[in-house]
Amino acid sequence: MNKGLTAALTALTIGFLTSTAHAVSVYDFSFGVGAGSVVGTLETDGTLGALGEANVLDWNLLVDDGSDSFSITPANTSFNIIDPVDFFSTSEGLFFDFSSGDGQWWFSGLFGSPETFEFVLQPGFDSAQIAHTIPFPDFVITHFVSQSYTGLQQLGTFRPVPAPAAIVLLGSGLLAMAMVRRPGRPRNRED
């Protein structure tokens, strides 16, 4: 076998083995809360099953409280889980069980000073809430929407993304095809 081909395939194999450890899952998030909604994408570290704060890598969500809309991202919000909640992912989607625990799962962001916008899931109260508040000095809630939920609810659907492994395999196949000698074409090769 050609030494160049062997080196290229070895490099691609090493790339394949190291790239599969960094797989991510992207979910198209779509969830109604009363007159409001939360839509966008949420990215996890690829873990299937129970998820915690560390598993959520990125989010880009448009939170609408029925009056105002805010785009929330890691740059302007924090994501927190207090006490255990049943938040998990499968190859089909992202799910939240409102019948489990008394914890909270929420995004909270500061928009202006001191205006905040929150999206909260609370299994202990069987509810989802969007709150647009001005907490200082008088703690005024300007908009608040809530909706009761019970049991298991789907928050988003899995969005297939090309895995690094598939890209590496495609590249190695193309490289192998390019290096295979075509019949009927003489090679310039010195023996």
Q: Where are the domains of the chain?
A: 33-179
Phi, psi angles (nearest 5°) of residue 53:
-55, -40
Q: Interhelix angle for 164-179 vs 3-19, to 10°?
A: 170
57: which residues sit within 8 A by CB, 6+ positions away? 24, 43, 44, 45
Convert the pLDDT of each residue in 46-98 to its tens digit: 999 989 899 999 999 999 988 888 888 999 888 888 866 788 899 999 999 88
Q: Residue 5's pLDDT band (boundaries 50, 70, 90)?
A: low
Helix (H) or strand (E) holding 184: none
Q: Is 73 left (phi over 0), alpha (psi -120 to 50) or beta?
A: beta
Single-letter amino acid, residue 2: N
CB 24 within 8 A of CB 46: yes
CB 85 within 8 A of CB 102: no
What six digits make up the tokens of 89? 């992912």
Convert the pLDDT of each residue in 169-185 to its tens digit: 666 666 666 666 656 66
Q: Is 41 helix (H, G, I), strand (E, B) or coil?
A: strand
Q: What is the pTM of this model?
A: 0.69
In this prediction, residue 18 carries a pLDDT of 46
Residue 89: strand pairing partners: 49, 94
Convert the pLDDT of each residue in 126-151 to its tens digit: 888 888 876 556 666 678 889 999 88
